[in-house]
């Protein structure tokens, strides 16, 4: 489906698309007896799928002035996704894929190496061509002619991913989520990135035992010296203003 008309209308109306979707009852989250088994990570899984689709679909490239928000899934998954998108691009971008082109395989040299260093089973497998193919072309790729999974993003260097991901995506976090601190760990996030967080109180949730304790929990990351006061300001004020402002 082509959702570009939706994003274009959001741009015209000044709306920041925001997603809130769970995944209980789907894939492996179908335990008939254990709520926690199905519940843990289900918001993050749904948000990751949406965020990944938007990124690899080139939406943040084509709509570089539009912000996208993912609610209640936290930011831990986003830190992992951001790093993984960079890591995968480095080994699977269009140029890098040339190193995996089966047509580049030198069967003569491979056979010589197998005979020199391999055991009998390895030698027999190489000589017989077991598991080896030098075919190339669309018939070997399901009809695909564009093999670069990042082609819609128009990336020229890894740092572009920071612009397309960090600048455009915001992640809703609850007060008691310890992984909120990961967003501000610029020493660990590639290209010194601070992933954008949005504070979302879970004060109305059915399993909150003390409503008065929800909001103070968000500040515990500062008290525990896991984030700074400036980080906290980004979390609860500055990022929401940028996103909805």
Check if the beta carbon of residue 68 is closer than 8 Å to that of residue 168: yes
- Alpha-carbon 165 to chain mean position: 9
Provide the pLDDT confidence category of residue 85 given band limits of 50, 70 and 90.
Answer: very high
Specify the length of the chain in residues.
Answer: 245
Residue whose C-alpha is closest to residue 71's, from 245, 243, 189: 243
* Three-state secondary structure of the chain: CCCHHHHHHHHHHCCCCEECCCCCCCCCCCCCCCHHHHHCCHHHHHHHHHHHHHHHCCHHHHCCCCCEEECCCCCHHHHHHHHHHHHHHHHHCCCHHHHHCHHHCCHHHHHHHHHHHCCHHHHHHHHHCCCCCCCCCHHHCCCCCCCCCCHHHCCCCCHHHHHHHCCCEEEEECCCCHHHHHHHCCCCCHHHCCCEEEECCCCCCCCCCCHHHHHHHHHHHHHCCCCCHHHHHHHHHHHHHHHHC
Q: Does residue 199 surpass a pLDDT of 80?
A: yes
Q: Does residue 219 surpass a pLDDT of 90?
A: yes
* 84-112 average pLDDT score: 92
Q: Does residue 135 surpass a pLDDT of 80?
A: no
Give the start-end residues of each E strand in 100-244: 169-173, 196-199
Provide the pLDDT confidence category of residue 223 given band limits of 50, 70 and 90.
Answer: very high
pLDDT-above-90 percentage for the chain: 78
In the predicted model, what is the mean pLDDT of the chain?
93
Provide the pLDDT confidence category of residue 29 given band limits of 50, 70 and 90.
Answer: very high
**What tens digit of pLDDT does each residue of 30-67 get?**
999 999 999 999 999 999 999 999 999 999 999 999 99
Q: Does residue 137 surpass a pLDDT of 90?
A: no
Fold assignment, 4-95+157-244: TIM Barrel (3.20.20)
The CATH 3.20.20.140 portion of the chain extends over: 4-95+157-244
Cβ neighbours for 223, distance < 8 A, ≥ 6 positions apart: none
């Amino acid at each position: 489906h082509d959702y570009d008309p939706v994003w274009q209308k959001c741009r015209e109306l000044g709306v920041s698309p925001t997603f809130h979707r769970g995944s209980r009852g789907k894939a492996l989250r179908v335990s008939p007896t254990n709520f926690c088994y199905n519940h843990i990570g289900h918001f993050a899984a749904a948000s990751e799928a949406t965020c990944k689709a938007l990124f690899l679909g080139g939406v943040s490239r084509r709509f570089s002035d539009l912000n996208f928000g993912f609610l209640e899934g936290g930011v831990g998954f986003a830190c992992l996704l951001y790093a993984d998108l960079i890591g995968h691009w480095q080994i699977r971008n269009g140029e890098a894929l040339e190193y995996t082109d089966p047509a580049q395989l030198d069967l003569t040299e491979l056979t010589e190496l197998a005979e020199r260093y391999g055991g009998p089973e390895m030698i027999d497998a190489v000589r017989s061509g077991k598991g080896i193919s030098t075919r190339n072309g669309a018939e070997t790729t399901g009809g695909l002619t564009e093999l670069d999974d990042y082609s819609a993003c128009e990336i020229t260097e890894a740092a572009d991913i920071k612009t397309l991901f960090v600048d455009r995506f915001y992640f809703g976090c609850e007060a008691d989520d310890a992984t909120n601190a990961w967003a501000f760990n610029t020493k660990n996030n590639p290209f010194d990135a601070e992933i954008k967080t949005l504070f979302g109180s879970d004060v109305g949730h059915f399993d909150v035992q003390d409503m008065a304790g929800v909001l103070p929990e968000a500040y515990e990351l500062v008290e525990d010296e896991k984030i700074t006061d400036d980080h906290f300001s980004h979390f609860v004020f500055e990022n929401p203003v940028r996103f909805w402002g």
